[in-house]
Amino acid sequence: MEKRIHFNHYLAITISLLLAITCGYAQETDNNFTPQSGQAGKDVVWVPTPQALVDTMLAMANVTSADYVIDLGSGDGRLVITAAKRGATALGIEYNPDMVELAKRNAMEEGVSAKATFKQADIFESDFSQATVITLFLLSDLNLRLRPTILNMKPGTRIVSNTFSMSDWESDLTVRLNEMASWSTAHLWIVPAKVDGNWKLDGGQIKFTQKFQYITGTLTMGNEEMEFSGKLNGDKINFHAGGMEYTGTVSGNTIAGTRTGGGSWNATR
Ligand SMILES: C[S@@+](CC[C@H](N)C(=O)[O-])C[C@H]1O[C@@H](n2cnc3c(N)ncnc32)[C@H](O)[C@@H]1O
């Protein structure tokens, strides 16, 4: 009996020691990871967004505690951590597992690990459709690959990119912090509602031709045809036709709004 106690005691100590050594080693390996600007990444290298531009990007997207921010390719976690400090819930998706662990440690050190979380995954195989704000520091061709998915997100979703464009989808706002410095330009896009096509309204019809957030079209009332151009801001639509300004909210297959001097208007398709 006594022998068995001694044996069990010895076994427990050995297991504890082994666990301590293994965990200590794993901890040491993680803590020693120091990222190098320009290091290889799956589809793009890691270069950190300067903190001044991080702040600008999140301000341009007007990130608040109501938002769910996802950074695609989150690196050391700075966009996610800063979004969490603004009160948002934020997720970083990053392919490099060392960067994911580093970002988690950074979030812990900054006291925001409850709101700033990180996931090791490929952004091209991830579902980010629930985000209200997407942040990007990728490359133009990667933005273009993401663009169809982004355009299918909820109207009003804000997309902010460090430097790189969305090809012929013009930004709604571009801010340059410093003409001379690299990585100092941010672009904002607001996902527009889809209105392209023919709509019926009381006493007439509207045909919208949509190119991203820009619309042109024809409003037909009886025998009168009025050409117009206008813009979408998320689910908000605005155009001038026949001397009146039309504003409205697009909700799937209905638009409801008001026109200057003419009361309300509703369109369906
Ligand atoms: C230019 S860095 C930007 C880091 C961070 N968003 C920032 O602005 O500081 C791009 C990041 O994307 C990661 N990355 C590259 N391809 C990826 C992929 N297919 N899925 C997830 N992350 C990827 C890289 O490892 C790198 O950390």
At 21-74, the pLDDT tens digits run: 343 334 444 678 999 999 999 999 999 999 999 999 999 999 999 999 999 999
**Residue 164 identity (one-letter amino acid):** F
CA of 184 to the centre of ligand 1 (A): 17
CA of 234 to the centre of ligand 1 (A): 27
The whole-angstrom separation of Cα 67 and Cα 53 is 19
Residue pair 86/101 in contact (Cβ under 8 Å)? The answer is no
**Residue 12 identity (one-letter amino acid):** A
Residue pair 75/138 in contact (Cβ under 8 Å)? The answer is no
Residue pair 115/88 in contact (Cβ under 8 Å)? The answer is yes
Q: What is the pLDDT of residue 223?
A: 93
The whole-angstrom separation of Cα 239 and Cα 137 is 33
CA of 113 to the centre of ligand 1 (A): 20
The whole-angstrom separation of Cα 81 and Cα 113 is 8
Tokens of 51: 């903190």
Residue pair 90/115 in contact (Cβ under 8 Å)? The answer is yes
Torsion of Cα atoms, 95 then 116 then 146 then 128, to 10°: 110
* CA of 41, closest atom in ligand 1: 25
Residue 5's φ and ψ, nearest 5 degrees, are: -60, -45
* CA of 99, closest atom in ligand 1: 27
Residue nearest to atom 2 of ligand 1 (CA): 46
Residue 77 to residues 35, 93, 166, 188: CA-CA distances in angstroms? 12, 9, 23, 20
Q: What is the pLDDT of residue 32?
A: 82
CA of 92 to the centre of ligand 1 (A): 9
Residue nearest to atom 23 of ligand 1 (CA): 73
Closest to 147 measured CA to CA, from 133, 165, 163: 165
CA of 123 to the centre of ligand 1 (A): 9
- 73-115 pLDDT, tens digit per residue, is 999 999 999 999 999 999 999 999 999 999 999 999 999 999 9
Ligand 1 pocket, CB under 6 A: 41-44, 46-49, 71, 73-75, 78-79, 93-96, 99, 122-124, 137, 162
